[in-house]
A = this chain, B = another copy of it.
Amino acid sequence: MDKKKLKELLIQVKKGKIEVEEAFSILKNLPFEDLAFAKIDNHREIRKGFPEVVYCAGKTKEQVVAIMKRLVAFSTNSVLATRADKEIYEAVAAEVPNAEYYETARLIVVRKGEQQKKGNILVISAGTSDLPVAEEAALTAEVMGNRVERLYDVGVAGIHRLLSQKDKLEKARVIIVVAGMEGALASIVGGLVDKPVIAVPTSVGYGANFGGLAALLSMLNSCAPGVSVVNIDNGFGAGYTASLINRLGEIDK
Judge whether B204 and A208 touch: CB under 8 Å: no
Closest to A204 in B: B58
Contact of A231 among B164, B204, B220, B230 (CB under 8 A): B220
Contact bitstring A48-81, B, C-beta under 8 A = 1, else 0:
1110110101110001000100000000000000
Distance of A34 from chain B, by nearest CB (Å)? 8
A10 within 8 A of B: no
Stretch at the interface among A17-25, A94-102, A187-195: A187-195
Judge whether A129 and B207 touch: CB under 8 Å: no
Judge whether B220 and A230 touch: CB under 8 Å: yes
Contact of A245 among B191, B196, B204 (CB under 8 A): B196
Contact bitstring A198-209, B, C-beta under 8 A = 1, else 0:
100101111111
A236 within 8 A of B: yes
B residues less than 8 Å from A193 (CB atoms): 47-48
Taking Cβ atoms with an 8 Å cutoff, the residues of A that contact B are: 31-32, 36-39, 41, 43-44, 47-50, 52-53, 55, 57-59, 63, 67, 83, 126-131, 152-161, 164, 173-174, 181-184, 187-188, 190-196, 198, 201, 203-234, 236-238, 240-241, 244-246, 248-253
Can you show 9 pairs from A to B with CB atoms below 8 A apart?
A39-B152, A157-B223, A184-B222, A207-B211, A209-B217, A220-B231, A228-B229, A245-B248, A246-B248
